[in-house]
Amino acid sequence: MIKGLLFDLDGVLVDTAKYHYLAWKEIAEELGFLFAIKDNERLKGVSRKRSMEILLEIGNIFMDEKEQEAYCERKNRRYVEYISGMKEDEVLPGTVELLKEARAKGYLTALGSASKNSMIILDRLGLTRYFDAIIDGTKVEKTKPDPEVFIKGADALGLPCEECLVFEDSEAGIEAAHSAGMKATGIGSRENLPEADMVVGSLKEYTLEEIG
Residue 181, C-beta contacts closer than 8 angstroms, at least 6 positions apart = 161, 162
15 is catalytic: no
Longest dimension (CA), the chain: 52
Of 8, 39, 136, 169, catalytic: 8
Q: Is the dihedral of CA 41, 45, 51, 57 positive or negative?
A: negative
Let me know: does 148 contact 172? Beta carbons within 8 Å.
no
**Which amino acid, one-letter code, is at 117?**
N
10 is catalytic: yes
What distance in Å separates the CA atoms of residue 31 and residue 193, rounded to the nearest whole number? 31
E-strand ranges in the chain read 4-7, 108-112, 133-135, 164-168, 183-187, 198-200
Q: Give catalytic residues, as residue numbers.
A: 8, 10
